[in-house]
Every structure is written in structure tokens, then in C-alpha cells.
Amino acid sequence: MAWHSGFGRLCAVFLAIFSFSFQGASSQLLVSPFGHTLVNALAGSDVTLLVSFTGADDPTVTWLMGRLPVVTWTIGSDVPPDIAEDRKKVLNIEPNGSLTFVNVTLGYTSNYTFEMTKSGLAKSVTSFTLEVFEKIQNVILAQPDFAIEGPKPFTLQYSMLQGVVQQQMWFFNDIEINSNSRYTVEERSLVIHGANRRDTGRYTVFLMNPFSRICPLIVSPPSHGTPLFICDLFIDGPEKPILEALPAQPFYLSGDTLSVSCKAEGFPLPTAKWDFGSQIPDQLNGVLNLTNVQTNQAGTYTCTLVNEQSKEKLQMNITLKVYETVRQPDVLGAVVLLYVAGGTPQAVLSFPTLDDTSSGAETFSLTFNASDNLNGKTVTCMADHPVEQNQCSVTASSPMKFLPSVRTRVSSDGKIVVTIECVSETSPEAVVSWSQGNETVAAGTTYQISSNATQLQIRDYNVSNFILQNYTCTCSNPLGSQRREVHLQGPSISDFSLFRNLNGTIVTLTWEVPPTSVVTGFDIQMKGPYLPNKSRNGTQKRGSADVFHTIQQKPGSVRSVDIFFLDPSLTYRFRVIPKALMTEGEPSEVQRIGPGEGLSRAAIAGIAAGIPCSLLFIVLLCIAIYFCFHSNKNKSRQTRYPVSRAVEKAITTQTETTPHNLLTGGLKSPPDYNRLNLTPSERSMALPTFVPPAPVRVATTV
């Protein structure tokens, strides 16, 4: 880590984050036996029928003896396996589903079937044959006193105190006898048909099972006397060893499960013992079960086969290869592109797009100077490993624009803790620095900087020490930098809303705070009728408050609250006050709920401003109507006189005669009747004598 920090401030760091994917196996339940499916066991010993499975977690297994289920269990379950009551002392199921027989007896010789099931998957089955033997002991031969020549059959028989015979062979003078017209080989007997003198000789029976061999010798008796019986024990082996790893693969991956078995021929059957260097791994009946194998378990395993009778030994080796896939790479360094892939064995690494002649193992680096042509350039890497061959890529970039985040909490000692975080996406990783004004921020009692420098914590009891402070964070790498300022402000509310349910009995208050506001808690206040609350004497508190009072207090991380037990017929008002410890900020706007919820402040202000304007408009309208009415009234009072028919006729014929020819036609102008209304002083001459005109028809036009 020191090496990284020492180089981290140099001119270029190229950070690569690589990932590798593997093709997963299809979901299929597979069961296979470990070792041979024909298992021989000596009575009184322990033996295990070994199985392995893949494709499911915690499947259900069932062991059948013939057609009879004897064990049922769900692998990994805490519930004990269901074992037949009369077999619990002998049968035991292993964690991986294998079946172990403890102190097995002859009665357990049978065919066994292993069934595994899992919901949604097809059932998988495998079978075993278990044969239990006793050592052959105390063989006794029986024959007639004399063999009489003739057609009567002559029978040689044997019996034994204990033992199970797997194979018997009869010999006449060391020549094996097979069943034919003269001989019949039966269980524990040999029948000679039509015996004669040519059948005189030595008869031998060879008895064998995997754990013992017996050969009684029968010598043809003399004419008088008792037959002579001679028994020999043959010991040989171990020989022809077989070492086998299942499943058979050239190598194994970390986390795999496998078994390694060791067997050989011989009499009695040789025993196997495994060694791994100076360690003795867990083993059962010469079989190693390696689950979740790791790379430190790779190497050479030695199997020692021993004949317990002759003490003859035989050793064989098997080498296991365990590989670790390319792990998640890491990148360190400065002015370099450093690719760490790991893996066992080590992967061969290269960057062909930058340099096709260089490569390395496990850790490989290339050095480049920071330049503009690297910004936004994609670099391809290659990893060559025995397990797989993969490629990956990374794009170098300068720090992206970012928005600092601000969080506030209260520490255990009662201080306000403000955390400012600056994170910018960049490759290689950006180096973050902090400053206040023109001074660099140093870690101490008041300021604490995280290990990766992306977070700055400010601790103080007084919120006034936070307000009006400007903090600057700078994210930079060799390809560029980004700089952002954070101006902390006091507790405040930026948005406040109210939502009620259909019945009006519950309201939800929601609010937001500015991103850089220092807030540690909120007071939820209400003005209006008291909410129902049982007092100590069992009665409900009634009445109302004309001022806001606090009904709930919430921490600074909360942004909503529910108010219950409201009366839909009453009016309530709510607001939220932000706080930084004991310092209160400006209250939020007031939200109202109740019948006739009224108009908003803007609507009321609009109405208040519109009323004077409306009154002025009405007054002006009335004045205009008055003047119009008065004007029309004066016009209607003027004297209007009737027009003579001659004038009317002249008007109607105006289109035929031009106006300047009306008087030239000998017509006289009508008299000026207005002059009749003049006062005596206004008249210039005496009024003429009035002579009434001749009666004429007149019409008045209004």
C-alpha cells in the first residue's frame, strides 16, 4: 500500500479493472460411483459404497437393498436419516450420500441401488453389488471306505466349519476336472460316473474367496487303512496395482471434488495406505475423498500396498494437478499499466495493442508518459492460462464531472458530523485533495479524511462553524482533473407537501432539504384542534391550540411522516422546522387541511389586488353611462318642424335635379321660423301681418 501511495501522485497511473467469465455447466443431476461397483468385504469389517454427484444442492437420496428401501435422507439436512429400525446398528450414511456398513455380516450380501432426486430435475441412479465373505476354516473331506469298480457313482465331498466359497476347482493328478459324461462338479462335491482302475490317483479340491484359499489333498487309500488329508495355504501378492482418480481429468480446478483409489491383486487382499509428503490424508478403504480441493493439495500422492500375511509391500505414485483460475486482477503503480492476473500456474500476460513483443507472468507492467492521446483510448490485455485463454480491455479517461454529496449525523459524543464525499469516475483512479479557501485541509480533531481521500468529515458542536464555509475537493489523475466547491448552509426546507387519505383522517407530510444544508433533525408542528390523546385520568384531551406546537420529532435522515386520528370536520395546519442540534432554521410553508380549505395565498393576494380595480372600473362605467344618457336627452329636446310636401318632393327628386338648380326653378325658400321667436329688441324690423296659408297636407318625420 505504501508503494501505491508513493507512486500515486506521479504523472500517470493507468488503472485496469478486468473480469473473466466461465461457461457454467448445464443443470443436470449426475451420480457416479467412486471405484468399483462390485465390492467384496470381510465379515466383521467396515465397508463403504462410495458415490459422488453434481448438478444440485441438497438433493434427496435413497438406498435400496434389492427392492427394499433401507435409507432415505436429504443431503445437508439437520433431520437425521430415515434408516430401517433393524439396520441402524450397521448402516450409516455419509455427508455426501455414500453408504457405510459397520461390522458388516453375511446377511448384507445383496445388490444395492442409489437413487438421487431433486425437484425439477430427472432422477439419477447408480448400482453396486456387495458380497460379504468369511475366511474358509476347518475343511473336512468325506469319502467311502472303498471305491468299487462299476456303474455305481463314486462321490467325493467336503464340508467346513465356516467360510463362503467364491470359487472351487477339482483336480485329478494336477489336471483340472470339468463337468462331462464321466465327472459332475457339484456344490461341495465331485461325482465320478462308472469308476474303474484308471480313476485311481490323487484328487485335489481348491477352495477360494477374496480373503482365503484352502487346498485339501486327497491321496487314494490302500486296500486297508484310513484316508490321508493334507491342507496347504497359498500366499501371494501384492501385484498388478491400479491407481485411479475419478473423475478422470488432466487437471482439476480449485473447488472441485474428486476421489483417488488404490487397489492390487494378492492373497490375502492387500491393504492400501496413502501418504502426501509428510502428511497422512483422510482415507477410507484405500480411497481418498478430496472435496473442495485447493492448489496446496496438488502434488504427488504415494499409495503403499501391504500383504498382511507375508508383509510384502508395493508402492505406487499418482500426481494430481490443481489449477486456480485467473483471479480478479489488481492494478498498482505509476506511469505504468500494471496487470496482475494471478492463477496457478501463472498466466502469461500481454498488451498486444500497446506492445506485441513484451509479456510477463503473474504481474506484468508497461510504462507510458501521460498524454492527450491516451485519454479515451481502449487498451486490450491477453491472459494465456492452461484453464482458459481470455482477453479484456480498459479505457483510460480523465476524471468525469461529479456532484459532491453531503450527509449529516450526530456522533456519540454529541457533535455534529458533516461528511462531504467526492467521487469521480476515472481510469486510472483519481487522487482526491481537500482545501478550505486557500488552505489545504489537514486531518486532525476537527477534520478527518478517509483512507482513499474521497470523504471529508467535519466535527463540531456549533452549527455556526459550518455555515458560510467553502470547501473544495479536487479529483485528479495524470490525464486531467475536476474541481468542485461545496458551500454549507444552515438547516432549511426546500419543499413541503401534504397528502391525505380518502377519509381525511390521516395525512402524510413530505419534505426535502437543500443538498448542502446541515440538518440533524426536524420538529413536526401543528396548529388547530388537539389530536386525541388519553390523559392520566382516562379522559381524552380536548380543545385547540391557536399557535403551532410540536407533535413529533424526527431525525435528519427522515423525509416524511404520517399524522393519524384527524377529524375531517375540523381544520388543521402543519409545518416542519429543520434543526441542527438546538439551532432551528426557517420553518417550512404552512399546509392546511379541513372543510372549505379556502384559497391559497396567491389567490387571496390576487383577489385583494383585484377588488380596488374592480370598483374603479365600475365607477368609470357608471360615469360613461351617465354622459351618454345626458347627451341623448339634450338631443331629444331640440324643436323639430315638419317638412312641406314640396320640400319632401324636392328631396325625393334630388337624384333628378342638381342642388344648385332648385332655387332657379322659381321656388322660394321656406320662411325662417326661428326668427319668429326673437325678442322685440332682436328684431330688425316689424313683424309682417300674418296671413294663414292655404290648407296643405303635411307629414312629420321623427
**pLDDT at residue 455, rounded to an integer:** 92
Q: What is the mean pLDDT of residues 338-358?
A: 66
The CA distances from residue 454 to 298, 405, 476, 508, 665, in Å, are 43, 11, 12, 36, 116
Of 40-44, 134-138, 173-177, 679-683, minimum mean pLDDT range: 679-683
Q: What is the mean pLDDT of residues 454-464?
A: 88
d(CA 273, CA 317): 12
- 30-33/51-54 β-pairing: antiparallel
d(CA 114, CA 91): 14
Q: Are 492 and 517 in contact (CB under 8 A)?
A: yes
**pLDDT at residue 472, rounded to an integer:** 93
pLDDT at 382 over 90: no
**pLDDT at residue 520, rounded to an integer:** 93
d(CA 8, CA 692): 132
In angstroms and rounded to an integer, the radius of gyration of the C-alpha atoms of the chain is: 58
Backbone phi, then psi, for 538, in 5-degree steps? 90, 5
pLDDT at 594 over 60: yes
For residues 587, 593, 596 and 601, what is the CA-based torsion angle, rounded to 10 degrees? Answer: 20
Q: Indicate the fold that domain 495-532+547-593 takes in CATH.
A: Immunoglobulin-like (2.60.40)
H/E stretch holding 622: helix 601-637
**pLDDT at residue 202, rounded to an integer:** 79
Q: What is the mean pLDDT of residues 216-221?
A: 51
Instruction: Give the angle 610-613-616 at the CA atoms, nearest 5°.
Output: 150
Of 249-253, 524-528, 583-587, minimum mean pLDDT range: 249-253
**More confidently predicted of 536 and 583:** 583
CATH number of 405-487: 2.60.40.10, 2.40.480.10, 3.10.129.10, 3.40.50.150? 2.60.40.10
Q: Are 575 and 551 in contact (CB under 8 A)?
A: no
Of 33-47, 408-422, 524-538, minimum mean pLDDT range: 524-538
**More confidently predicted of 467 and 39:** 39
Note the Cα 318 to chain centre separation in Å. Answer: 41
30-133 and 242-323 in the same fold: yes
**More confidently predicted of 73 and 202:** 73
pLDDT at 515 over 70: yes
- The burial of 634, by beta-carbon neighbours within 10 Å (0-12 exposed, 13-18 middle, 19 or more buried), is given as exposed
Q: What is the pLDDT of residues 87-107, one digit of tens each?
A: 999 999 988 889 999 999 999
CATH number of 242-323: 2.40.50.140, 3.30.310.220, 2.60.40.10, 3.30.1460.30? 2.60.40.10
Q: What is the mean pLDDT of residues 402-426?
A: 90
Q: What is the mean pLDDT of residues 504-510?
A: 93
Q: What is the mean pLDDT of residues 148-173?
A: 81
pLDDT at 309 over 80: no
Instruction: Give the angle 435-440-445 at the CA atoms, nearest 5°.
Output: 95
d(CA 240, CA 316): 11
Q: Are 477 and 335 in contact (CB under 8 A)?
A: no
Q: Are 496 and 509 in contact (CB under 8 A)?
A: yes
Q: What is the mean pLDDT of residues 562-574?
A: 91
Q: What is the mean pLDDT of residues 298-304?
A: 90
Query: Under DSSP, is residue 390 helix (H, G, I), strand (E, B) or coil?
Result: strand
CATH 3.40.50.1820 for the 30-133 domain, yes or no: no
Domain locations along the chain: 30-133, 148-233, 242-323, 330-396, 405-487, 495-532+547-593
Query: Under DSSP, is residue 245 helix (H, G, I), strand (E, B) or coil?
Result: strand
Query: Under DSSP, is residue 663 helix (H, G, I), strand (E, B) or coil?
Result: helix
pLDDT at 548 over 60: yes
Those residues with Cβ within 8 angstroms of residue 466's Cβ, 6 or more apart along the chain or in another chain? 416, 418, 458, 460, 488, 518, 580
Residue 535 in grid coordinates: 390523559
Q: What is the mean pLDDT of residues 124-146?
A: 82
pLDDT at 174 over 80: no
Q: Are 489 and 517 in contact (CB under 8 A)?
A: yes
Q: What pairs with residue 250 in β-bridges?
A: none
d(CA 216, CA 204): 6
Q: Which residue has the cell 435400496?
A: 64
Q: What is the mean pLDDT of the chain?
A: 77
**More confidently predicted of 371 and 666:** 371
Most confident of 304-308, 346-350, 593-597, 652-656: 304-308
Q: Are 44 and 104 in contact (CB under 8 A)?
A: yes
Those residues with Cβ within 8 angstroms of residue 218's Cβ, 6 or more apart along the chain or in another chain? 141, 143, 156, 202, 203, 204, 205, 227, 229
Instruction: Label residue 271 by pLDDT band (50, 70, 90).
Output: confident
Instruction: Label residue 160 by pLDDT band (50, 70, 90).
Output: confident
Query: Under DSSP, is residue 562 helix (H, G, I), strand (E, B) or coil?
Result: strand
pLDDT at 362 over 80: no
3-state DSSP of 402-465: CCCEEEEEECCCCCEEEEEECCCCCECCCEEEEEECCEECCCCCCEEECCCCCEEEEEECCHHH
Q: What is the mean pLDDT of residues 363-367?
A: 69
d(CA 352, CA 347): 15
**pLDDT at residue 596, rounded to an integer:** 66
d(CA 178, CA 185): 7
Most confident of 176-190, 221-235, 348-362, 549-563: 549-563
Query: How far is the first Cα of the chain from the last one, in angstroms, to the nearest whole number?
Result: 114
Q: 148-233 maps to which CATH number?
A: 2.60.40.10
